[in-house]
Structure 1
Amino acid sequence: MTARYQHLLSPLTVGSTTLPHRVIMGSMHTGLEEKDGGEHELAAFYVERVRGGAGLIVTGGVSPNPEGAARHHGAHLSTEDQLPRHHVVTTAVHEAGGLIALQLMHSGRYAMHERAVAPSPIRAPINKVTPRELSESDVERTVEDFARAAYLARQAGYDGVEIMGSEGYLINEFLVEHTNRRTDRWGGSPPARRRFATEIVRRVRERTGPDFLVMYRLSALDLVPDAQEFEEVLTLGREVETAGASIINTGIGWHEARIPTIATSVPGAGFTWVSRALRENLRIPIATVNRINTPELAQEVLARGDADLVTMARPFLADAAFVAKAREGQSDSINTCIACNQACLDHTFTGRRMSCLVNPRAMRETELVLGPTRTAEEIAVVGAGPAGLAFAEAAAQRGHRVTLFEEQPELGGQLQLARRIPGKEDYQHTVRYFTTRLRELGVTVHTGHRAAPEDLAFADRVVIATGVHPRRPGIPGDTGPTVLGYKEVLEGAPVGDRVAVIGAGGIGYDVAHFLTHNPSADFYAEWGIDRSLEARGGLLTPAPEPPMRRVTVLQRSTTKPGSRLGPTTGWIHRLELRMAHVRFITGVEYQEITDRGIRMTAPTPEAAGAHARAGGGLALEAPRVETLLEVDTVVLCAGQESRTELALELAGDVRPVHVIGGADVAAELDAKRAIKQAVELAAALP
């Protein structure tokens, strides 16, 4: 064990179980829990992480009864005939030397089916289903369902369970007055609202015995209106402790909270101060969560006493060997989670199999295999953006001899632009990871060199990953002195106080945020988070700093701006720009860009207002007006085009020539698609 991570890598004994280190692999619903035969793929996913050093793994959420499942036919454990599937997973994990706990999660009013139930019949703002109110006998039955599911989990070979009591699911709904309007013994007062949670823990412990891990996921900071006061949270923690919990795992925010808690905009280890307040008042070990993605950060959190354990979920998607690399002192080789949500949570909440933007092998361990090559080739890769880097690493890992050309002086391509966006600084970790891995694998790298066909004569195979260049929208005057491309802006070109951004896609949103973000902004003040833990639910009135510029975002389309942003992060980007007073105008027809601004026609203010109230779908025949939008700078974010010059020069080449990433498809700047395509190509080579 390296002394650098002595806190992180020290063992911890909890009851009769000794954890090998202080890292818990947190719960992630993968999408394989419901798939026929998915248990074998799930076992392969977990085993790869155990071999990479994971100690205690917590599964994705499994309901204690069918009505608590997230979707129709969702994962639940309620009968003995379901045990064989679970045995496949637990046996594989144990044979690899790991520990595994089943998360018991009743979705409550978040369930997206007609059988949804809740303490009171109040629909969640993020769901279309109004739940049925549980009767008193239903509540009693549900408590017993949790206890039986825990008993079955033990029979299935699990080392413990985690009872999901946070994030706004059923147990959390019982705790909060806003969602629990009951006046029986399960509501009406804080002690009565806590009874459901504590009774579940007590009966689970009673049913599973003293030598079984019982973790409780405690909502330490609800971040919704009319929620728990922190003293109520502490009281619940003490009651859960007395009822028999082994570990309390911290939960932050409900899914419906309008505050980021796990997205890339959240500061690293941004909520461990809440766990510290719990740890100072409770006796059993406390695990902390959210935006802890490096061993250095985890070590720091534990060293200062914020928690006894660190729960990481997505970092194990990004790199199965996170712990092993930390133990070996190779943290630069860790493929770091960048909290983008694009392939993990976005997939989960839209019913797709979870994966990872920076590691597309996650959840595809049995089908996307990077085994040794049968015939080592000399491969030339042109372009060191996401696609080129990912292919070079994967091909070299398989044993091919790879030479990489990049015309810029540094690796990364569009990742170098992404990391300049406030809140997306973690993209620099991806560049660091690939840079380290290419060096470890012996890839020959030429930077500051634009490859020509003659440079590639040595290669048996050529992979073109030359990326994209910004598209000019063809507006008269779009090459004028007041016009800049998004690349120039992100690289530091001077920009005036009044700015028009042409294009309301992901790039337009990022650039508008870049231009308006005030460097003195405090995340907690900006979003209204009470660090004193005195406000109910942890909520204060947001107090964002004044924006650095006045920005107007223009869009030709009449669709709602931001409609293509990620489902779990789009709302954050929209709120960020709203707090910065960014104005959006849709349905724009451009006449000319001049030194004074943009001459254009657009819907009248009345039509635009109706459009905004309707949430999009502005009629093309809506009344319009010609206007001059006076600005100092115009920034073009009107899409991009593939760079295909080299591919055209090599057309007809007798060698295999592959075009990947943005050079293949230029739509948006999709690193997820580019990296996935690159790794799949490397895996498919002979």
Structure 2
Amino acid sequence: MLSPIRAGQHMLRNRVIMGSMHTRLETEPDGIAKQIAFYAERARGEAAILVTGGFSPNAEGIFDPEGPRIDDPKEAENLRPICEAVQAEGSLLCAQLLHAGRYAKIEGCVAPSPIRAPINRYVPREMTDADIRRTIEDFAKSAANAQAAGFDGVEIMGSEGYLINEFTVPHTNKREDEWGGSAENRHRFPVEIVRAVRERCGPGFLVIYRISAADLVEGGAPADEIADLARKIEAAGADILNTGIGWHEARVPTIAYPVPRGAWRKAAANVKAAVSIPVVASNRINTPELAEDILTSGEADMISMARPFLADPHFVKKAREGHADEINTCIACNQACLDFIFSDRPVGCLVNPRAGRETEFRDTPTESPKTVAVVGGGAAGMATASEAARLGHDVTLFEAQDKLGGQLNLAQAAPGKDEFNETLRYYSGQLQKHGVKLRLGQRAGLDDLNGFDHVVISTGVTPRIPDLLGVDHPSVATYAEILSGARAAGETVAVMGAGGIGHDVAEFLVTEPAEAHNTDAFCDTWGVDPKFATSGALAGDPLAPKPSRRKVVMLQRKASKPGTGLGVSTGWILRNALRKHGVEALGGVVYDRIDDAGLHIMVDGAPKTIAADTIVLCTGQEPERALAEDLTARGATVTMIGGAKEAAELDALRAIDEGVRLAQSL
């Protein structure tokens, strides 16, 4: 991973690319300054190449009305300070050229054929021959604009179901002219774009092509067509082939936590076997060890990681210096990266509040050190304690349990969410590194907190017990008891509550643990060809039913469809996983009572009894605030954060952000 590699006329300092991510920083006040801070920090972290978020080559290709373009030379020139900042730190910067095609959320979007994308309400206009040739020229002009502005190269986005990818497969290309029909015709558009960019920009300009190595949609490309396209792209002048996995409309998860680490490495290997230029593996690679294994196995020449550089911009530098254990690992939660982007917010990161907000934080030690007590060792408490100690405060952390983690210890029990182990590892190491005094197994009392300049209450939450007749029945358990293993569930289970916790508990109850850890089991569950050879790399219906360990019904009082409040980019995965395993979800439920017969409810005014061996309470949380109230009465300086401040859904994103920001403000 750390060895140099030649790509075109460039000798790269290592084999790591920071993959392209939409950041929306360009829409912010002082957008250039924020982008400079964002990219320069990751260049200091020693990624060999940084790839920007996508710039459209023309007006038709913008992802949304605010999407950035690079077809205007003056607009491109405004980006020069970003290039200079990255290059000053020793990295190369490439602008991604992305035409959204039928994914463009604008009137007048275009595509090879007028087929509406299931994730877009706009029907695209079919491109004419003149449109196609003009668009090829637009790519070449935009690449030249990037070159003139100081970029070292471009990445041409040919995957993920965007315009170029749409031309390459029958799924979206129904044309009968020279741009459709045979594979040779369907490949003509991307090949002509690469050739035009190379001719316009010359041999010293780095050209990366992002090839779809597994479309994961019906009518997608088989492996032999992908290999054929790869060879043509190499011949047209590309220096590097980066691999993309899955279309945005695919019904197979590709980068979220249910996907095993390294699940797509063999898709990259198929491409590598076809060409001699460097090939890049991507998606769900988040540790140096995994990157090293993929490279030494010969499956790829380079590694692309995007979100791991949100989580820790110094990923490569820490690995090079022998401090890989200090890397803040991406847990693939998508909460503050993709979910923020899809909600028209600038990019962020659950485990790293600085990501995308670098200008809001300081690293200089405090000039007035304080003695700080942090009560509670969950996400909020660990974030506060480690950051405060890093800045020079004298910190003592009290945790009533004999281990750190709080609610994270429950969250990591959900399928695929064992990545939270990495967050616990990271914070445990940071607490030790910065000299935080740990008081594990000690429930802090008032007297323990005398003499501290500042007391932070991060005591978290406890499960809310509803006021319901029979709630003390032996069949009833809280989500905490189930996820912690303190209680075992029976064969038929009713889950009261269909929020994030309810869905996690339901999936925990019906799926086999191997599905989130073993690539073959994952492929079997989601209908993926593990050899990535078939059309679209599919081997079956991604939504086909799967065996369930238990019969589970999930209920909620709201009349809305269960699961509507889940994450934008992960909710569909959870909902589909539960449907595949036969979980029934009921909304508009009125709870009546619990007795030996089960859970008695009313649905649409009609009584119904859910005969369940186990009834799991996922009915919210209550804050732990008693200590804070007593301390305030004594006149102590107290701040409540995390669940103690607001007992909403378990939210490590809010908890960590509040903790770090509080520590910065001390």
**TM-score interval, smaller chain:** over 0.9
* Counterpart residue number, 1:3: none
CA deviation vs aligned residue, 1:177-227 (integer Å, no higher than 9, x gap):
121122222112211111000000000000110111100000011000111
Shift of 1:681: 1.3
Q: Which moved more, 1:235-244 or 1:491-500?
A: 491-500
Give the match's secondary structure for 1:75: coil
Cα contact 1:23–1:54 (8 A) shared by 2: yes
2:450 to 457, 465, 480: 457
| TM-score, L = length of structure 1 | 0.94
Shift of 1:500: 0.4
Residue 546 of structure 1 aligns to which amino acid in structure 2?
P
> Aligned partners of 1:296 and 1:547: how far apart in 2?
33
* Counterpart residue number, 1:635: 616
Which ranges of structure 2 fall in alignment gaps of 5 or more residues? 516-520
Give the match's secondary structure for 2:79: helix
CA deviation vs aligned residue, 1:54-93 (integer Å, no higher than 9, x gap):
2210011111112111111310011221133210100111
Cα contact 1:116–1:130 (8 A) shared by 2: yes
> Aligned partners of 1:595 and 1:331: how far apart in 2?
53
Aligned-pair identity in percent equals: 52
- Superposed CA RMSD in Å reads 1.2
* Counterpart residue number, 2:518: none
Q: Which moved more, 1:144-153 or 1:365-374?
A: 365-374
* Counterpart residue number, 1:616: none
Residue 117 of structure 1 aligns to which amino acid in structure 2?
V
* Counterpart residue number, 1:502: 496
> Aligned partners of 2:185 and 2:138: how far apart in 1?
20
> Aligned partners of 1:497 and 1:326: how far apart in 2?
46
2:635 to 654, 657, 672: 654
Residue 72 of structure 1 aligns to which amino acid in structure 2?
P
Structure 1 residue 561 corresponds to structure 2 residue 562: yes
Structure 1 residue 131 corresponds to structure 2 residue 124: yes
Residue 136 of structure 1 aligns to which amino acid in structure 2?
D
CA deviation vs aligned residue, 1:212-262 (integer Å, no higher than 9, x gap):
110000001100011112111111000000000000000110000000000
Residue 655 of structure 1 aligns to which amino acid in structure 2?
A
Alignment of 1:96-107 (within 5 A): 96-107=89-100
CA deviation vs aligned residue, 1:463-484 (integer Å, no higher than 9, x gap):
0000000001111111111100
Residue 133 of structure 2 aligns to which amino acid in structure 1?
E
Give the match's secondary structure for 2:26: coil
* Counterpart residue number, 1:573: 574
> Aligned partners of 1:331 and 1:413: how far apart in 2?
25
Give the match's secondary structure for 1:81: helix
* Counterpart residue number, 1:396: 389
Give the match's secondary structure for 1:103: strand
Give the match's secondary structure for 2:360: coil
* Counterpart residue number, 2:24: 31
> Aligned partners of 1:506 and 1:546: how far apart in 2?
23
Structure 1 residue 182 corresponds to structure 2 residue 175: yes
* Counterpart residue number, 1:540: 539
Shift of 1:531: 1.6
1:472 to 465, 471, 485: 465
Structure 1 residue 518 corresponds to structure 2 residue 512: yes
Alignment of 1:191-206 (within 5 A): 191-206=184-199
* Counterpart residue number, 1:684: 665
Give the match's secondary structure for 1:33: helix
Structure 1 residue 552 corresponds to structure 2 residue 557: no
Residue 284 of structure 1 aligns to which amino acid in structure 2?
I
Alignment of 1:38-437 (within 5 A): 38-437=31-430
> Aligned partners of 1:65 and 1:42: how far apart in 2?
22
> Aligned partners of 2:66 and 2:329: how far apart in 1?
34
Shift of 1:115: 2.9
Give the match's secondary structure for 1:425: helix
Residue 470 of structure 1 aligns to which amino acid in structure 2?
P
Which ranges of structure 1 fall in alignment gaps of 5 or more residues? 1-7, 604-623
* Counterpart residue number, 1:607: none
Give the match's secondary structure for 1:343: coil
> Aligned partners of 1:390 and 1:73: how far apart in 2?
34
> Aligned partners of 2:29 and 2:59: how far apart in 1?
17
Give the match's secondary structure for 1:489: helix
Shift of 1:456: 0.8
Shift of 1:545: 4.4
Across the two proteins, how many residue pairs are aligned to each other? 658
> Aligned partners of 1:251 and 1:373: how far apart in 2?
44
Cα contact 1:518–1:546 (8 A) shared by 2: no
CA deviation vs aligned residue, 1:552-583 (integer Å, no higher than 9, x gap):
11111111100110010000000110011001
Give the match's secondary structure for 2:418: coil
Cα contact 1:250–1:286 (8 A) shared by 2: yes
Shift of 1:351: 1.4
Cα contact 2:545–2:579 (8 A) shared by 1: no
Residue 522 of structure 2 aligns to which amino acid in structure 1?
F
Cα contact 2:545–2:582 (8 A) shared by 1: no
CA deviation vs aligned residue, 1:266-317 (integer Å, no higher than 9, x gap):
0101100111111112111100001000111111111111100000000000
Give the match's secondary structure for 1:180: coil
Give the match's secondary structure for 1:181: coil
Residue 582 of structure 1 aligns to which amino acid in structure 2?
V
- Residues 269, 520 of structure 1: alpha-carbon distance in 2 compared, 3 angstrom cutoff: closer
Give the match's secondary structure for 2:167: helix
> Aligned partners of 1:338 and 1:151: how far apart in 2?
37
Residue 244 of structure 1 aligns to which amino acid in structure 2?
G
Residue 535 of structure 1 aligns to which amino acid in structure 2?
T
* Counterpart residue number, 1:613: none
